[in-house]
Amino acid sequence: MGLFDRLKKGLTKTRQNFVGRLDEVFKGRKIDDSTIDEFEEILITSDIGMDATMEIIDGLREEVGAGRIKDYEGVKRYLKQEMLRILGLPQPFVLYQERPFVVLTLGVNGVGKTTTIGKLASRLYSEGHSVILAASDTFRAAAIEQLEIWAERSGAQIVKHQSGSDPAAVAFDAVEAAKARGVDVVIVDTAGRLHTKMPLMEELKKIKRVINKAMPGAPHETLLVVDATTGQNALRQAKMFNDAIGVTGIALTKLDGTAKGGIVFAIKKELNIPVRLIGVGEGIDDLRDFIPGEFVDALLGNEGE
Partner 1 sequence: MFDSLSDRLEGIFNKLRSRGYLKEEDVDVALREIRLALLEADVNFRVVKDFVNRIKEKAIGQEILKSLTPGQQVVKIVHDELVHLLGDRNEKIQLAPNPPTIIMMVGLHGSGKTTTSAKLANLFKKQGRRPMLVAADLQRPAAIDQLETLGRQIDVPVYLKRETKDPVRVAEGAVKQAVLDARDIIILDTAGRLHVDDTLMEELSSIKSAINPQEILFVADAMTGQDAVNIAKTFNERIGITGIILTKMDGDARGGAALSIRSVTGRPIKFIGVGEKIEMIEPFYPDRVASRILGMGDVLTFIEKAQESVTLEEAEKLQKKIMEESFTLEDLRDQLKHIRSMGPIDNLLSMIPGLGKQIKNVQIDEREFIKIEAIINSMTPRERRNPQILNGSRKRRIAMGSGTTVTDVNKVLKQYKEMKRMLKMFKGKKGKGGKRFKGLPRFMPF
Chain residues in the site for partner 1 (CB under 8 A):
13, 41, 44-47, 50, 108-112, 139-143, 145-146, 148-150, 163, 194-196, 198-199, 227, 229-234, 236, 254, 256-260, 263
- Distance set, CA 257 to CA 6, 65, 87, 139, 280 (Å): 13, 37, 22, 29, 8
Please check whether residue 117 is in contact with residue 150, taking contact to mean a CB–CB distance below 8 angstroms: yes
CB closer to partner 1 out of 102 and 224:
224
Round to whole Å and give the CA distance between 107 and 193: 6
Residue type, 129: H
Nearest-approach distance from CB 187 to partner 1, in angstroms: 16
Nearest-approach distance from CB 16 to partner 1, in angstroms: 10
- Distance set, CA 88 to CA 58, 187, 293 (Å): 20, 27, 9
Q: Would you call the peptide bond into 100 cis, given omega within 30 degrees of 0 as the criterion?
A: yes
Helices (H), 50-98: 50-65, 72-87
Nearest-approach distance from CB 24 to partner 1, in angstroms: 15
Q: Which residues pair with 297 in a beta bridge?
A: none
Half-sphere exposure of 100 (CA within 13 A, CB side): 33
DSSP string, 203-220: HHHHHHHHHHHHSTT--S
| Coil vs helix vs strand at 225 | strand
CB closer to partner 1 out of 256 and 294:
256
Q: Which residues are within 8 A (CB) of 192 and not within 5 positions of it... i.e. 6 or more apart?
A: 107, 108, 109, 110, 111, 113, 137, 140
CB closer to partner 1 out of 13 and 179:
13
CB closer to partner 1 out of 61 and 99:
61
CB closer to partner 1 out of 90 and 257:
257
Nearest-approach distance from CB 49 to partner 1, in angstroms: 9
Provide the edge-to-edge strand list for the sheet that holds 249-253: 157-159, 131-136, 185-190, 101-106, 221-227, 249-253, 275-279, 287-289
Nearest-approach distance from CB 89 to partner 1, in angstroms: 26
Nearest-approach distance from CB 234 to partner 1, in angstroms: 8
Nearest-approach distance from CB 230 to partner 1, in angstroms: 5
CB closer to partner 1 out of 7 and 215:
7
CB closer to partner 1 out of 182 and 199:
199
**Separation of CA 113 from chain center:** 11
Nearest-approach distance from CB 202 to partner 1, in angstroms: 9
CB closer to partner 1 out of 185 and 234:
234
